[in-house]
Structure 1
């Protein structure tokens, strides 16, 4: 983030109209700076080399290099800002591929502006964002596509407090929201999350959400 706490965003979408709409939502007065724009996933590495960014807002469907492949390339290169995928209701399989490629979350293209703002802020803070409107469908598809073995380690490996944190992750809470609900610091939340990932052999926050649903810690709805 900038010295003033603004979140620098790289927009990646092959439609100028879509990027224009995103620019109108992610305004400086609300704490955002558009660090750069790309019309294709192939342009992302050069854009990140030229402009510092805290979050990449990535369309999944583009003509040359799509969002899934662009996200996969960023993950392989290491040291990249988190990716927030843009998707539509009929993109379940594509979305699962994006999560598998390393996207920190997704937001629906027809979501309210407030949801996009919350999603970008959450991802910039190191959290994930899974749109609650289609979470159950995404979880089912993610299980099939990711093959991450989310249910392979017993829940009993976690302390009661770690189970509380995992339940909160499954409900989609950010680190700040978990800290407030459990009356602990965000640093402590991050420590709990690290131990949860290690004990359950989970790759990322999306896998933790899948685990929470698969083991009945959280139920759809």
Structure 2
């Protein structure tokens, strides 16, 4: 194949407050075909800045970090409406992290015990638009969201949501930004912000992330 026709490598940023983890992942993943480690960061704030400053295809993001944790950083990165995908890594198999990551719009959730080759495969999968979860979290997600074993059940009617608010909620649960929602609904972005504020008030929460988390808790996040 002519070098000029070869696909561009997947540009990956590694974010972790542990220098050994950053260096190890950079060294191992950097040897994988089609993957290029373009930068590293030590916390969520640096990660958000990095994505704004450079073209990053996939962020390999630790969950627990100082300054700004990985879930909040994921929410900020995806709210900007770019093409960057986020793959969360954590030491702890904890549903709080899993739920938060799903709500924030992360494309994947892996344990740090995952072999490097599988992490590389996950990077390729999420870059292609797919979703990945470690086996343990996957089984619990299936139990709770696919088989209907949710923490509680409710409906949008009980929240007295308008048709527009229900549509905005549905799109928020798909990790769409305000700009993307505005385009899809053919309304002004300020109108979307008004609906989001109304959803927060009616659901008794204080952020977009909490809207989605609460929706899943109520069984209306699908």
TM-score, length basis structure 1: 0.61
1:86 alignment partner, one of 77, 86, 89: 89
- 1:130 alignment partner in structure 2: 133
Deviations 1:112-163, CA, capped at 9 Å, x for gaps? 11210110000111111112233122445677589998xxxxxxxxxxxxxx
1:25 to partner: Cα distance? 2.2
C-alpha contact (below 8 Å) 2:32/2:120 kept by paired residues: no
1:62 aligns with 2:81: no
Between the aligned partners of 1:74 and 1:130, the Cα distance in structure 2 is 20
Q: Indicate conservation of the 8 Å contact 1:35/1:52, yes or no.
A: no
State how many pairs are aligned: 157
CA deviations on 1:4-34 (whole Å, 9 max, x unpaired) are 4311001111111111121122124522111
Distance 1:146 1:85, change over 3 A: farther
SS at match of 1:30: coil
**Structure 2: runs of 5 or more not aligned:** 156-166, 176-211, 213-218
- The 5 Å alignment of 1:35-184 reads 35-140=38-143
Deviations 1:172-218 (A, max 9, x none): xxxxxxxxxxxxxxxxxxxxxxxxxx9xx68449x9xxxxxx9xxxx
Whichever of the two has the greater Rg, that structure is: 2
SS class of match (2:106): coil
Aligned residue in 2 for 1:180? none
Residue segments in structure 1 that go unaligned for 5+ positions in a row: 150-197, 208-213, 215-221
SS of the residue corresponding to residue 65 of structure 1 reads coil
Distance 1:56-1:29 versus aligned 2 partners, 3 A rule: closer
* Equivalent-residue separation in structure 1 for 2:113 and 2:9 (angstroms): 25
Once the two structures are superposed, what CA deviation does each residue of 1:79-127 show, in whole Å capped at 9, x if it has no partner?
1401000023432211211110110111110011121011000011111
Deviation at 1:45, TM superposition (A): 2.5
CA RMSD of aligned residues (A): 3.3
- Which of the residues 25, 31, 36 maps onto 1:33? 36
